[in-house]
Amino acid sequence: MTRTAPHRDQGGFTLIEVLIVTALLGVVMAAVFALVQTSQRHAHTSEEVVEVQQNLRVALERMSRDLRLAGLGVADEDIFVARPDFLRCEGLDDDGDCLDSNALIFRTLSAPGQIARINDELTTTAAEHVLRVASADMARLFHEEDYVVNPVYVRIFRPATRVQPLDRVFQVMAANPDSADPTLTLNGFNTSVSLRPGDLIARVEVRPGVVDPNSNPPEHPNQIRYRLVRAESADEDQFLLARIPTGVDPDDRDAFEILASKITGVTFEYFQDNQGDVRAVRITLTGATDATRTGVAGYLAPGQDNNVRTRSLTTVVQLRNR
């Protein structure tokens, strides 16, 4: 009797089938990888663009606020010490710091922009006096938790005559914004002087280390400088927009207030009246993504040689104090 061997299933993949599946899987994986890479590229570029736009908005708002106070406290001098058509960062010497380049420079009563209006009519009879001010918000501008650690200095200015009733710098000893009549306590009156409702108390910056600000008083009226300084990026078109108020050494870059990074251009247009006085300024800020990031190969699509994105913001600021 002959026995028949049991039938076995010979199913499986041939080499050709394996190669086809591998090729198809490679195509799919390449497409997925390209999609992920493109998404990452767009995400990183979008983050850079958002940062550029935020920088421009913050800087433009700060510059506009400063320029609206330009001319306050300025008697006969011109508001502008220097009014360039654009800011550049081209060092005139070989140190590469750009601190000798041009700057927008204008005068104002208070570089910090903190001003309170006096509600009192009185004649001072002592070195220290409590003065009522127009609002709690004004008093709050001068409040500090510790006036020894963070001394606050002010000038008193009379807008009607554009003079100081007493040409001195005073120290704020206390601010009381929460009372029914908000007050500031000032010390430093060395002679009798009459104060009137409407006189202004304006905060001024004193250089660090100055013990007696009246022996080395801050410039009056204050000056504010805007200039470009070099950024740390290897992108040579990237700059920082710096604000340098009175009280800050214009040669000490570490002390500057940096308003914005990724700035590539700042231009100004001045609108004058028939007497030649500037009545308004058009500011245009331009920023761009960093070419050393969005311009490198990882950010470029095939055949693309530049992925740098540029944005601009423009505003016109009316000068209120002329």
Helix %, strand %, coil % of the chain (to 5): 20, 30, 45
What are the angstrom distances between the C-alpha of 104 and each of 81, 87, 176, 248?
8, 8, 37, 15
Higher per-residue pLDDT: 312 or 97: 312
Q: What is the pTM of this model?
A: 0.79
Sign of CA dihedral 102, 108, 110, 112: negative
Would you say residue 295 has pLDDT above 90? no
Q: Tell me, which fold does domain 110-220 have in CATH?
A: Elongation Factor Tu (Ef-tu); domain 3 (2.40.30)
Which position has the higher pLDDT, 173 or 30? 173
- Compute the average pLDDT of residues 296-317: 71
Does the pLDDT value for residue 276 go beyond 80? yes
| Predicted local distance difference test score (pLDDT) of residue 218 | 85
Q: What is the mean pLDDT of residues 163-187?
A: 94
User: How do residues 222-275 score in pLDDT, each as one tens digit?
Assistant: 999 999 998 887 788 889 999 999 888 888 888 899 999 999 999 999 999 888
Q: What would the mean pLDDT of 61-69 be, rounded to a whole number?
A: 94
**Cα separation, 222 vs 243, whole angstroms:** 13
Residue 297 has pLDDT above 50, yes or no: no
Q: How confident is the model at residue 116 (pLDDT cuts 50, 70, 90)?
A: very high
CA atoms within 13 A on the CB side of 5: 3
Q: Residue 29 pLDDT more than 90?
A: no
Residues 104, 100: Cα–Cα separation, whole Å: 13
Average pLDDT, the chain: 85
On whether the CB atoms of residues 76 and 101 are closer than 8 A, the answer is no
The pLDDT score that the predictor gives to residue 3 is 59
Can you say whether the dihedral through the CA atoms of 292, 293, 294, 297 is positive or negative?
A: positive
Q: According to the model, what pLDDT value does residue 96 have?
A: 60
- For the cut 50, the answer to whether the pLDDT of residue 309 exceeds it is yes
- Indicate the SS3 state at residue 303: coil
- Measured CA angle at 68 (ends 114, 109), to 5 deg: 45
Look up residue 266 and give its two tokens.
């700042």
Mean per-residue pLDDT, 122-150: 94
pLDDT surpasses 90 at 160: no
Q: How many CB atoms neighbour CB 260 within 10 A?
A: 24
- Cα separation, 285 vs 281, in Å, equals 13
Please give the C-alpha separations between residue 213 and each of 157, 179, 208, 222, in angstroms, as whole numbers.
17, 30, 10, 14
Could you give the residue ranges of the DSSP H alpha helices within the chain?
A: 15-68, 136-140, 291-294
Looking at the predicted structure, is the pLDDT value of residue 42 above 70?
no
